Amino acid sequence: MSKVQGNDVVKVHYTGKLADGQVFDSSLQREPLQVELGKGQLIPGFENALIDMAVNEKKTVTITKEEAYGDVQQELFQTVPKTQLPEEIKPEVGVILVASRPDGSEQQLRVSEVNEDHIIVDANHPLAGQTLEFELELLEIA
């Protein structure tokens, strides 16, 4: 029986949970994830968990923050004066804003604090600093 190797293309169903059991993402109600391993498209812990799995195998893995999205980086928090926000934006904690970078790409920023004259935005990945659990089911090795 063949097993997943480092550069295979695989199809996998997954359910991702936080340490408290809250589901943050799942492919079960949509098409399975198809990905070519070794291309940096997955967090390291997810990709490493797929190696040596066989078709139809299921397993649950715990992925530390170091193998997921890393630590929360304080330098990714920024203070933005409210005067720099478009008038139609009413910032609230948790709201996602999109900022344009000089190269034309976009970056998502989460409002983490709202003050009278400024807001603080967080450019960390929403799952940074978290240990994650994934239930995996390997469907196919292409």
- Residue boundaries of the structural domains of the chain: 9-70+127-141, 74-122
The pLDDT value given to residue 70: 97
CATH code of the region 74-122: 2.40.10.330
Question: So what's the pLDDT on residue 111?
Answer: 96
pLDDT per residue, tens digit, the chain (142 aa), is: 699 998 999 999 999 999 999 999 999 999 999 999 999 999 999 999 999 999 999 999 999 999 999 999 999 999 999 999 988 888 999 999 988 888 989 989 999 999 999 999 999 999 999 999 999 999 999 8
Among 88, 83, 91, which residue's Cα sits nearest to residue 120? 91
CB burial class (10 A; 0-12, 13-18, 19+) of residue 66? exposed
**Is residue 120 within 8 Å of 112, Cβ to Cβ?**
yes
Reply yes or no on domain 9-70+127-141 having CATH 3.40.50.300. Answer: no
pLDDT at 123: 95
DSSP letter for each residue of 49-98 = HHTT-BTT-EEEEEE-GGGTT-PPPGGGEEEEEGGGS-TT----TT-EEE
CB 61 within 8 A of CB 15: no
Q: Quick one: pLDDT at residue 86?
A: 87
Question: How many CB atoms neighbour CB 23 within 10 A?
Answer: 12
Q: Global pTM?
A: 0.83
